């Protein structure tokens, strides 16, 4: 007599629990995917922090070098300047920055290694305006 009532109670409980149990496998997949993404984002954050710290260290080192150069009054010296992302074109003057080159003569080259002018006494001489701009002395 109680067996029928127990069976009906268990059957009713099973009917109520079936929708909850059918969602569990999907929730496991969601949970594992979420855990994977969280772990990956932690790894990415730590990498970004390391990269940012390295970049900050480089900036500080460059600042110290610039300060030392400014205190000593020594300017960087070179005889060549290569302009990246520029190929020789008579319609477009690259107008390089002439500050910091001092009184020496610096020959300027494009990305292909072709002479496009010179900086002399902090003045830009472009080969399309000055015929002797690329003549090496």
53-88 pLDDT, tens digit per residue, is 888 888 999 888 878 877 776 665 667 788 888 888
Query: Into how many domains does the chain fold?
Result: 2
Residue 100 belongs to a domain:
yes
Residue 131 belongs to a domain:
no
pLDDT of res. 67: 82
Residue 137 belongs to a domain:
no
Under 8 Å between Cβ of 81 and 92: no
Under 8 Å between Cβ of 104 and 77: yes
44 and 96 together in one domain: no
pLDDT of res. 73: 66
92 and 33 together in one domain: no
Phi, psi (deg, nearest 5) at residue 133: -65, -35
Residue 41 belongs to a domain:
yes
Name the stretches of the chain with pLDDT < 50: none
From the list 114, 115, 113, the residue with the least C-alpha distance to 130 is 115
Under 8 Å between Cβ of 124 and 117: yes
Residue 70 belongs to a domain:
yes
68 and 7 together in one domain: yes
Residue 88 forms beta bridges with which residues? none
DSSP structure class, residue 113? S
Under 8 Å between Cβ of 117 and 126: yes
Q: Is 101 exposed, middle or buried (0-12, 13-18, 19+ CB in 10 A)?
A: buried
22 and 63 together in one domain: yes
Domain of 121 in residue numbering reads as 80-126
- Where is the domain boundary, 32, 51, 74? 74
pTM higher than the cut 0.85: no
Q: CA-CA distance, 104 to 81, in Å (whole number)?
A: 12
25 and 65 together in one domain: yes
52 and 101 together in one domain: no
Residue 114 belongs to a domain:
yes
DSSP structure class, residue 95? -
Pairing mode, strands 80-82 and 123-126? unpaired
């Amino acid at each position: 007599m109680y067996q029928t009532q127990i069976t009906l109670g268990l059957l009713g409980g099973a009917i109520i629990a079936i929708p909850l149990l059918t969602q569990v496998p999907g929730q496991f997949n969601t949970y594992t995917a979420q855990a994977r993404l969280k772990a990956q984002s932690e790894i990415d954050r730590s990498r970004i922090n390391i990269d940012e710290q390295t970049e900050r260290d480089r900036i500080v080192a460059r600042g110290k070098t610039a300060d030392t150069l400014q205190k000593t009054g020594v300017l960087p010296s070179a005889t060549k300047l290569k302009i990246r992302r520029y190929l020789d074109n008579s319609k477009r003057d690259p107008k390089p920055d002439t500050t910091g080159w001092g009184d020496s003569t610096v020959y300027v080259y494009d990305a292909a290694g072709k002479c496009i002018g010179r900086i002399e006494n902090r003045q830009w001489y472009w080969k399309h305006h000055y015929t002797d701009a690329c003549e090496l002395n």
